[in-house]
Amino acid sequence: MAFMKKYLLPTLGLFLAYYYYSANKEFRPEMLQGKKVIVTGASKGIGKEMAYHLARMGAHVVLTARSKERLQKVVSHCLELGAASAHYIAGTMEDMTFAEQFVTKAGELMGGLDMLILNHITKNSLNFFQNDIHYVRKIMEVNFLSYVVLSAAALPMLKQHNGSIVIVSSMAGKLAQPLVAPYSASKFALDGFFSSIRKEHSIAKVNVSITLCVLGLINTDTAMGAVTGIINLPAAPKEECALEIIKGGALRQEEVHYDSSPWTSLLLENPGRRILEFLYLRKYDMDKFINN
């Protein structure tokens, strides 16, 4: 009972206050007007749809993926749709030097950076795990390590703009599913790393928001090709999915949950994790890490 009074009730109160507050902030497309945004994995699928939404909202965009031909087409269409500016830089996120230099060049092209949307993944097919260590290393590098490199390179610019980092993840990055062990590991890693960095930003008063997007099945060509005949689930539309990701980033939400079932978001809330994180944080003495 003492525990209830000391921790549980204040914690629950805080959550209610938080939800009331965040539910009251409303998205307006003008929030992105003139903003400087990077989208990775923008040559097709959800990344391409995000580029088109951002273009309609009048943002500056720099896009990347490996395929020059596809990126060129996406950039032309972004300009038709009303982007303040649109450029692409092609390269592979297997190469960490490319990742780092890409951010610098993109910042130069736009004269700064407000939002970094990390969305690319390496090819993934559904299968039992069969000891392919080479593939585990590759998927961790492309889906996780390059995200760390890109966000670290972008952080100085994002700090100057009170900017945002948006991480595209998956249900497989929050719960266990068969046939996707390496992919799942790379997506769980994003949650561990970026949710920890979010706590650090809040302690160190770094005003760069981090939004983790947990997506269900989305009707991109890649996903439909991979799951057909194996997973029987309705797929949600990629256009709406892309918009929800941008909204969540602009509203500086901690997480975006997007799925064809409305129950998913509620079930993903995981109040146990939130309460434990809150309680643990109270036990930290952070003075020696903060120089001010």
Ligand X SMILES: NC(=O)c1ccc[n+]([C@@H]2O[C@H](COP(=O)([O-])OP(=O)(O)OC[C@H]3O[C@@H](n4cnc5c(N)ncnc54)[C@H](OP(=O)(O)O)[C@@H]3O)[C@@H](O)[C@H]2O)c1
* Segment lying near ligand X (by CB under 6 A), choices 115-123, 174-182, 249-257, 278-286: 115-123
Site string for ligand X, 142-161 (x = CB under 6 A): x-------------------
**Token pair in block for residue 110:** 């736009």
Question: Out of 122, 151, 164, 211, which residue is the one contacting ligand X (CB under 6 A)?
Answer: 122
Q: What angle do CA 237, 192, 272 make, to 5 degrees?
A: 85
Residue 20: CB atoms within 10 A of its CB come to 9
Binders of ligand X among residues 60 to 99 (CB under 6 A) are: 65-67, 70, 92-94
Closest by Cα among 173, 58, 175, 176 to 118: 173
Q: Which residue's structure tokens are 């980092």?
A: 165
Number of residues that this document lists for the chain: 292
Q: Determine the 3-state secondary structure of 215 from DSSP.
A: strand
CA distance to 59, 63, 91, 112, 231, per residue, from 36 (Å): 6, 11, 20, 7, 38
Q: Note if 135 is an active site residue.
A: no
Say how many residues touch ligand NAG, by CB under 6 A.
3
Taking the least distance from each CB to ligand X, the nearer of 267 and 281 is 267
Taking the least distance from each CB to ligand NAG, the nearer of 104 and 207 is 207
**Cα dihedral 103, 86, 121, 67 sign:** negative
Tell me which DSSP letter residue 274 carries. H
Question: Out of 22, 104, 207, 270, which residue is the one contacting ligand NAG (CB under 6 A)?
Answer: 207
Catalytic residue, candidates 20, 183, 258, 284: 183
Q: What is the dihedral of CA 130, 133, 135, 136, to 10 degrees?
A: 100
**Token pair in block for residue 190:** 């994003």
**How buried is residue 212: exposed, middle or buried, by Cβ count under 10 Å (0-12/13-18/19+)?**
buried
* Shortest Cβ 198–ligand NAG spacing (Å): 13
Summary count for the chain: helices (H), strands (E): 12, 7
Which does residue 149 bind out of ligand NAG, ligand X, none, counting CB within 5 to 8 angstroms by kind? none
- The yes or no reply on residue 270 touching ligand NAG (CB under 6 A) is no
Question: Out of 168, 189, 208, 212, which residue is the one contacting ligand X (CB under 6 A)?
Answer: 168
Binders of ligand X among residues 223 to 262 (CB under 6 A) are: 223
Question: Out of 162, 196, 228, 261, which residue is the one contacting ligand NAG (CB under 6 A)?
Answer: 162
Which does residue 161 bind out of ligand NAG, ligand X, none, counting CB within 5 to 8 angstroms by kind? ligand NAG
Taking the least distance from each CB to ligand X, the nearer of 209 and 220 is 220
* Shortest Cβ 40–ligand X spacing (Å): 6
One-letter amino acid of 128: F
Residues that bind ligand X (CB under 6 A): 41-47, 65-67, 70, 92-94, 119-122, 142, 168, 170, 215, 217-218, 220, 222-223
Instruction: Tell me which residues are annotated as active site.
Output: 183
Residues that bind ligand NAG (CB under 6 A): 161-162, 207
